[in-house]
């Protein structure tokens, strides 16, 4: 003791200082090792609480794999992990199924805390270091070069397990995936250290180095994630991306996928990683507002969607539904940015994404038995996939031919409301959507509407899912659409996925409910105020004076009480006994249309080459007359009647709020369109060779030419190569907009008097509205035969039924239209074709000389049992050729 003491006392001061420094360094190193070991254990507790050990028969009450374990959110799991660490609670060994696929467990996760500390105090030998490099545990994000490096090494060793582990680790971590496959920019050391999970207690020198490194590069995103909370603590100095800027190398991602997906084991790693990634991403987006702090978070969605195998059966079962649920949680600005990024893709790339989501929807629909008790609206996977498809739908629109200008000015003066509003408000039935139809929030965010798209990159028909339309309970879906509850999804909010037949059914429900509402209000008025009960929009007309009677009556209603136009139409022909259950209204509309569009009246002009009508710019009729025609068109849609109207498509575009443009001339005025196109493409001198000015000539109703200046003093302004585009635009605007402004404004006002509260504008595109008004031009009588029902003793195998269809199929096109007119009240096929007509052929007694008769309201044909095919043909042709008027049978 004494000698030792003496020696220490004789030791020089430098030696004492050295010894003290070593002691402090050892203590500091031990302290850091202990903290690292503690952090490692807390991570294990956290992942045990959130992901479990993978053993379905686990008995540890603090493990997510235990059957009796109660799930908790990430924040609660983080707090619980700290508590379990303090009490040294039981830790499960990872089940074999978890190894290599989950990032929750590191390679040495089965060791105890004491062995970790002991191992951390020893130096790692060269062999272990080499093994660690070969397993690429230090790879925390991927680049194309790094993937190829690992792939080459695995190929040499004929062991792909290191690559599988890296893919599992990176593709199951949102932070790692966000940083992967970036463009040329390098990551800051701070970002790399956050991913490597190093000790948070850095010395000042390291912090200064990290700070200086961070100043050298543009920080793309701070991807630090707390070690166990699951919440993202992003750097405040986030590099905000522009609305269309992409920070990842998409081509590199595609090349990597192309190289790796051919290996079945590697593909399984992608699949398992996506299963683990998706719930965490959903949690981040739902609770942690991650996108607002890091716009680069969208990178992971772009990377995952480049996987060309997403539509394969392995993904459809679990991985893709989970990923769709996560993507559907994206906030509106994130969806808008993703849309703009995807709008840069090619048609094939967008079509692949469409097919991926369509495949999932179809798979879920055909693998489940949906009904009125088990609604497809309640299937989370179908709903999420539809919301994701909506993002691709708008990307497809923006990628196509879009015209956001040329919008019609809205009417300043609102449509007059009836006095019934007061009573409706008292009854709690105030009209919804008074300020017009609803607008999709994405359209507002993007500044683009579906109507703005002249031609999408991928056809609109590719977005329609027929199996979904077949199982959709439209009455229930319409209810969800009107109520607008958060917990019930309506497919009417995504009309692109519905076909015209389904949307027409939704519109039918909307119209009928509004009719019933008006009827109920009328009854209550009669009780409260003693007014005469008039629950229908009654029109009593003379067949020979149908225009005078109908339009005068409609004009009075439009002036006195426009709300009456939304009542159910009931037409009565004077001197005829027909009861209007729909058939009389059909004939009324047909007769009105024939009269209105008669060229002798002069309201519309008819083009023999296109077989289309256009507004007469020099018509003597008042604006009120055009308003009434608009009302008639609106009433036909409102009462589900088809009209034989032949307008160019630009009319329906203008009804939806778009002005006519040069492209519309090709449909409405093809000769003029060709002339202006040749002018635009002319290679010579327009001024010298064509000698035209900004003054054009038109003819009035009597063929007299009229001169019109497109610009002030237009006759003195020659058209040159420099100003010819302006000339074409002004000419087009004059023909389609300015010259018919008064007539069309009145026409549109009348149309909106009936449809202003309807979801028509929200649900339908211009070509679908034309189909709604005019029906289908294709007459498929085979489809009609397949869907026809029989009654009164007839069956499909009956002799007369077989002979009847042989005769009908042999009819000329004109005779087929006569037959449809006789049987259904219109010579047009409904939306969806003749197969949607549901005609009934009923027996009307034994053989006789009576002609066949029909109930056009119900599409019923009454056919006596004629003795021969010749007699049936003769009687049927006479009936359909000379049919006119209604009577009581």
Residue in the structure block whose two tokens are 């003195």: 716
d(CA 75, CA 91): 20
Please report where in the chains the tokens 């009904």 appear, as a residue: 371
Phi–psi pair at 605, nearest 5 degrees: -100, 150
110 and 319 Cβ atoms separated by less than 8 Å: no
E strand or H helix that includes residue 573 = strand 569-573
Structure tokens given for 888: 């009581």
Q: What is the separation of C-alpha 770 from the centre of its chain, rounded to a whole number of angstroms? A: 22
Q: How far apart are CA 845 and CA 875, in angstroms?
A: 15
Cα gap 795→804, rounded to integer Å? 12
Beta bridge partners of 855: 860
d(CA 671, CA 678): 11
Place of tokens 């203590």: 27
Here the tokens at position 215 are 């100043």
Burial of 580-613, coded b for 16+ CB within 10 Å and e otherwise, reads bebbbbbbbbbbbbebbbeeeeebbeeeeeeebb
447: left (phi over 0), alpha (psi -120 to 50) or beta: left
Helix (H, G, I), strand (E, B) or coil at 67: coil
| Helical spans, DSSP H, in 288-329 | 290-293, 299-305, 313-317, 319-327
Q: Report the DSSP beta bridge partners of residue 615.
A: 604
- E strands within 714-859? 789-791, 840-843, 853-855
What residues contact residue 764 under an 8 Å CB cut-off, 6+ apart? 495, 500, 503, 507, 772
DSSP code per residue over 764-778: --HHHHHHHHH-BS-
Three-state DSSP state, 621: coil
CA 734-739-744 angle, to 5 degrees, is 120
Selected catalytic residue, list 53, 58, 92, 857: 857
Q: Per residue in 812-821, is it b (16+ CB within 10 Å) or e — as a string?
A: eeebbbbbbb
226 Cβ contact partners less than 8 Å away, ≥ 6 residues apart? 78, 233
Region of residue 242 (phi > 0: left; psi between -120 and 50: alpha; otherwise: beta): beta
Q: What is the Cα–Cα distance from 140 to 119, expressed in whole angstroms?
A: 23
Residue 92: DSSP 8-state:
P
Task: Name the nearest CA neighbour of 838 among 787, 780, 804, 763.
Answer: 787
- Say which DSSP state 461 is in: G
Nearest CA to 370 among 480, 461, 463, 477? 477
362 touches 467 (CB < 8 A)? yes
- Name the 3-class secondary structure at 723: coil
Burial of 179 (0-12, 13-18, 19+ CB in 10 A): buried
- Name the residue with tokens 């290996």: 263
| Annotation marks residue 857 as catalytic | yes
Residue numbers annotated as active site:
857
């Amino acid at each position: 003791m004494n000698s030792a003491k003496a020696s220490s006392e004789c030791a020089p001061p430098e030696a004492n200082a050295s010894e003290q420094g070593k002691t402090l360094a050892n203590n500091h190193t031990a302290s850091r090792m202990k903290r690292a070991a503690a952090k490692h254990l807390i991570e294990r507790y956290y992942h045990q609480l959130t992901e479990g050990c993978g053993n379905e028969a686990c008995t540890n009450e603090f493990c997510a794999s235990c059957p009796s374990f109660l799930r908790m959110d990430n924040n609660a799991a983080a707090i619980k992990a700290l508590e379990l660490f303090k009490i040294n609670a039981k830790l499960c060994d990872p089940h074999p199924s978890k190894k290599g696929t989950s990032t929750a467990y590191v390679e040495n996760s089965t060791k105890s805390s004491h062995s970790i500390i002991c191992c951390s105090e020893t130096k790692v030998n060269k062999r272990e270091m080499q093994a660690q490099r070969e397993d690429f545990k230090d790879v925390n994000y991927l680049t194309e070069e790094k993937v190829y490096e690992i792939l080459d090494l695995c190929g040499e060793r004929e062991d792909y397990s290191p690559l599988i582990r890296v893919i599992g680790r990176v593709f199951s971590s949102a932070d790692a995936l966000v940083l992967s496959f970036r463009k040329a920019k390098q990551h800051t050391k701070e970002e790399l250290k956050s991913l490597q999970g190093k000790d948070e207690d850095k010395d000042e020198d390291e912090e200064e180095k990290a700070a200086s490194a961070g100043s050298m590069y543009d920080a793309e995103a701070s991807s630090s994630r707390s070690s166990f909370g699951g919440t993202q603590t992003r750097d405040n100095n986030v590099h905000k991306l522009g609305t269309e800027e992409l920070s990842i190398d998409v081509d590199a991602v595609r090349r990597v996928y192309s190289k790796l997906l051919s290996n079945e084991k590697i593909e399984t790693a992608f699949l398992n990683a996506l299963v683990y990634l998706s719930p965490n991403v959903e949690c981040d987006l739902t609770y942690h507002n991650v996108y607002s702090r890091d716009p680069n978070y969208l990178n992971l969605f772009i990377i995952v969607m480049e996987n060309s195998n997403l539509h394969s059966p392995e993904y459809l079962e679990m991985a893709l539904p989970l990923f769709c649920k996560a993507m559907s949680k994206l906030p509106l600005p994130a969806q808008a940015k993703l849309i703009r990024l995807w709008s840069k893709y090619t048609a094939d790339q967008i079509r692949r994404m469409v097919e991926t989501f369509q495949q999932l929807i179809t798979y879920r629909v055909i693998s489940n038995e949906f009904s009125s008790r088990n609604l497809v609206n309640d299937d989370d996977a179908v709903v999420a996939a539809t919301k994701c498809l909506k993002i691709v739908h708008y990307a497809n629109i923006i990628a196509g031919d879009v015209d956001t200008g040329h919008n019609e000015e809205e009417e300043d003066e609102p449509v007059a409301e009836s006095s019934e509003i007061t009573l409706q408000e008292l009854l709690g039935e105030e009209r919804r959507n008074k300020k017009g139809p609803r607008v999709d929030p994405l359209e507002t965010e993007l500044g683009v509407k579906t109507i703005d798209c002249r031609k999408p990159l991928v056809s609109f028909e590719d977005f329609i899912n027929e199996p979904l339309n077949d199982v959709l309970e439209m009455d229930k879906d319409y209810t969800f659409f009107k109520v607008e509850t958060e917990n019930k999804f309506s497919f009417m909010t995504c009309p692109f996925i519905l076909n015209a037949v389904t949307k027409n059914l939704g519109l039918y429900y909307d119209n009928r409910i509004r009719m019933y509402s008006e009827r109920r209000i009328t009854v209550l008025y009669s009780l409260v105020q003693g007014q005469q009960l008039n629950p229908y929009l009654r029109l009593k007309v003379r067949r020979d004076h149908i225009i005078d009677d109908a339009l005068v009556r409609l004009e009075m209603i439009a002036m006195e009480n426009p709300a009456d136009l939304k009542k159910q139409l009931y037409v009565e022909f004077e001197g005829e006994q027909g009861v209007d259950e729909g058939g009389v209204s059909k004939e009324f509309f047909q007769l009105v249309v024939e009269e209105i569009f008669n060229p002798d009246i002069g309201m519309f002009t008819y083009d023999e080459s296109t077989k289309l009508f256009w507004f007469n710019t020099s018509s003597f009729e008042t604006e009120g007359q055009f308003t009434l025609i608009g009302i008639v068109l609106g009433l036909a849609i409102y009462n589900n009647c088809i009209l034989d109207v032949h307008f160019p498509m630009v009319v329906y575009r203008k009804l939806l709020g778009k002005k006519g443009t040069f492209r519309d001339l090709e449909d409405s005025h093809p000769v003029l369109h060709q002339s202006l196109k040749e002018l635009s493409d002319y290679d010579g001198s327009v001024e010298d060779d064509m000698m035209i000015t900004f003054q054009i000539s038109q003819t009035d109703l009597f063929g007299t030419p009229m001169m019109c200046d497109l610009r002030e003093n237009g006759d003195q302004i020659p058209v040159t190569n420099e100003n010819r585009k302006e000339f074409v635009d002004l000419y087009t605007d004059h023909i389609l907009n300015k010259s018919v402004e008064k007539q069309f404004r009145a026409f549109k006002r009348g149309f909106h008097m009936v449809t202003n509260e309807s979801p028509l504008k929200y649900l339908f595109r211009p070509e679908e509205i034309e189909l709604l008004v005019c029906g289908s031009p294709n007459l498929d009588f085979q489809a009609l035969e397949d869907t026809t029902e029989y009654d009164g003793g007839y069956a499909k195998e009956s002799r007369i039924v077989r002979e009847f269809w042989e005769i009908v199929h042999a009819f000329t096109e004109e005779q087929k239209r006569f037959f449809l007119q006789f049987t259904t009240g219109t010579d047009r096929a409904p939306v969806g074709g003749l197969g949607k007509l549901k005609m009934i052929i009923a027996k009307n007694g034994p053989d006789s000389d009576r002609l066949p008769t029909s109930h056009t309201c119900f599409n019923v044909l009454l056919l006596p049992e004629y003795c021969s095919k010749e007699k049936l043909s003769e009687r049927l042709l006479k009936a359909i050729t000379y049919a006119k008027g209604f009577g009581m049978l």
